[in-house]
């Protein structure tokens, strides 16, 4: 069993990564249904919360069925992060996570997200300020370092543990790498196996199959893994990994009925949480991922991204289910979806 503050997670938990414009409550709902052990909100600007920005406040929405769930904030100012932590605590999440990992320019070059990796003393001060401002367990998500010449995650892990964080998630790339190349888990393993480190260490980056999850569990000894892009349009990955680790067997690939049912639930939740117009519009980014692998699906996909009512979309989903009834999906490697410019995996 893995413990984060007062949160009890199963042995080797699977965490849904915070992803901007992706991991909202509708998406989190279908991931929870399919085996995610803990999830996080999209990252939220501390300045936005303090200014009472509507979009930032909306991201604080969490629901009982999601628990345990963490709210993730970012910022580069001690006072702002402290105030944001107090605002977050009122919404009663299970934990508060600080984003020191987002690599995009609009965040990192303004001294927040992965930008803080250039100043470890500042990172420690920011983290300490948050820990002192809340009774919630505080965790951190970060990267190996700013660039290949500054991979300082081993120092970061020790110092952040010393100021009171309860867990650390590490993405196996530097800020300058963005999402290019393969994630390097060697330093993640070194952090985990450092005898000074007592808090849970979660690895993140390129986990796209049950085999890889098991291999990295055994090779690097991490306490659990955090999955981001591989869950977009494929929330089944959580239960597939669990089954493979526990039994050494693959679950059958989700059928067309499974895919349509989950896609439909995601749509309904999206409309319910946002409103019919925004919910329908924002769901458009997900259809291609749910229907990936179906032959000659382009025409249906084009329809889905132009329709404006839930009823019309329902009709097309029903037609897809009928047309592809009995279609056998092959077990192929999951393609990691990229929305890099919007910092999906922070």
What is the CA 287 to chain-centroid distance, rounded?
19
| Sign of torsion over alpha carbons 339, 241, 203, 148 | negative
Terminal Cα-to-Cα distance of the chain (whole angstroms): 26
Q: Which of 322, 325, 333, 341 is nearest to 234 (CA)?
A: 333
| pLDDT, tens only, 251-265 | 999 999 999 999 999
Local confidence band at 103 (pLDDT 50, 70, 90 cut-offs): low
Q: Which CATH architecture has domain 256-323?
A: Orthogonal Bundle (1.10)
Is residue 332 scored above 80 in pLDDT? no
Torsion angle of alpha carbons 13, 227, 46, 136, nearest 10°?
0
* Per-residue pLDDT band at 291 (split at 50, 70, 90): very high
| Mean pLDDT value of segment 225-247 | 96
In DSSP terms, which residues pair with 70 in a beta bridge? 40, 95
Instruction: State the pLDDT at residue 342.
Output: 45
Decide if pLDDT at 339 tops 50: no
Percent above pLDDT 70 for the chain = 91
* Spatial CB neighbours of 191, under 8 Å, sequence gap ≥ 6: 153, 154, 157, 168, 170, 197, 201
Quick: pLDDT tens for 118-153.
Answer: 889 999 999 999 999 999 999 999 999 877 788 899
Q: What is the pTM of this model?
A: 0.91
Reported as a single tens digit per residue, the pLDDT across 188-224 is: 999 999 999 999 999 999 999 999 999 999 999 999 9
User: How far lies 249's CA from each of 240, 305, 331, in Å?
Assistant: 9, 36, 13
**Which residues in the chain are classed under CATH 1.10.1200?**
256-323
Going from the C-alpha of 229 to that of each of 256, 334, 343, the distances in angstroms are 21, 9, 11
Q: To which CATH superfamily is domain 2-251 assigned?
A: Aldolase class I (3.20.20.70)
Of 326, 9, 25, 36, the residue nearest 139 (C-alpha) = 9
Instruction: Give the CA angle between residues 207, 343, 198 to the nearest 5°.
Output: 55
Residue 343's pLDDT is what? 44
Task: Identify whether 102 is a catalytic site residue.
Answer: yes
**What is the DSSP code (8-state) at residue 10?**
-
User: Which residue(s) pair with 336 in the sheet?
Assistant: none
Of the residues 31, 102, 263, 343, which is catalytic? 102
Torsions phi, psi for 8 (to 5 deg)? -105, 120
What span, in angstroms and rounded, lies between the C-alpha atoms of 298 and 186? 40
State yes or no: pLDDT of 346 exceeds 90. no
Angstrom distance (rounded) from CA 36 to CA 31: 6
- The model's pLDDT over 74-98, given as tens digits with 9 standing for 90+, comes to 888 889 999 999 999 999 999 999 9
* Upstream peptide bond of 68 is cis (omega within 30 degrees of 0): yes
Residues of the chain with CATH 3.20.20.70: 2-251
């Amino acid at each position: 069993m893995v413990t984060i503050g007062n949160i009890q997670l199963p042995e080797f938990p699977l965490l849904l990564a915070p992803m901007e414009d992706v991991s909202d409550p509708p998406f989190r709902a279908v991931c929870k249904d399919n085996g995610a052990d803990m999830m996080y909100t999209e990252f939220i600007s501390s300045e936005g919360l303090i200014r009472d920005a509507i979009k930032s406040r909306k991201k604080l929405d969490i629901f009982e069925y999601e628990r345990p769930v963490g709210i993730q904030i970012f910022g580069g100012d001690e006072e702002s992060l402290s105030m944001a932590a107090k605002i977050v605590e009122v919404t009663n999440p299970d934990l508060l996570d600080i984003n020191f990992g987002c690599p995009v320019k609009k965040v990192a070059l303004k001294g927040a997200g992965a930008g803080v990796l250039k100043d470890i003393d500042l990172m420690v001060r920011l983290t300490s300020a948050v820990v002192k401002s809340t009774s919630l367990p505080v965790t951190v998500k970060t990267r190996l370092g700013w660039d290949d010449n500054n991979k300082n995650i081993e120092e970061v892990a020790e110092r952040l543990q010393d100021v009171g964080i309860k867990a650390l998630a590490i993405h196996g790339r530097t800020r300058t790498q963005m999402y290019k190349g393969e994630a390097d888990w060697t330093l993640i393993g070194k952090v985990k196996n450092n005898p000074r480190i007592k808090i849970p260490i979660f690895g993140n980056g390129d986990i796209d199959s049950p085999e890889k999850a098991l291999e990295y569990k055994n090779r690097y000894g991490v306490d659990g893994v955090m999955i981001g892009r591989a869950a977009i349009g494929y929330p089944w990955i959580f239960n597939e990994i669990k089954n493979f680790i526990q039994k050494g067997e693959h679950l059958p690939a989700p059928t067309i009925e499974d895919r349509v049912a989950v896609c439909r639930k995601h749509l309904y939740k999206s409309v319910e949480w946002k409103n019919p117009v925004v919910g329908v519009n924002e769901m458009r980014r997900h259809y291609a991922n749910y229907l990936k692998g179906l032959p000659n699906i382009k025409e249906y996909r084009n329809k889905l991204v132009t329709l404006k009512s839930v009823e019309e979309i329902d009709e097309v989903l029903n037609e897809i289910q009928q047309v592809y009834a009995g279609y056998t999906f092959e077990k192929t490697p999951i393609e990691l979806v990229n929305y890099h410019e919007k910092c999906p995996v922070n």
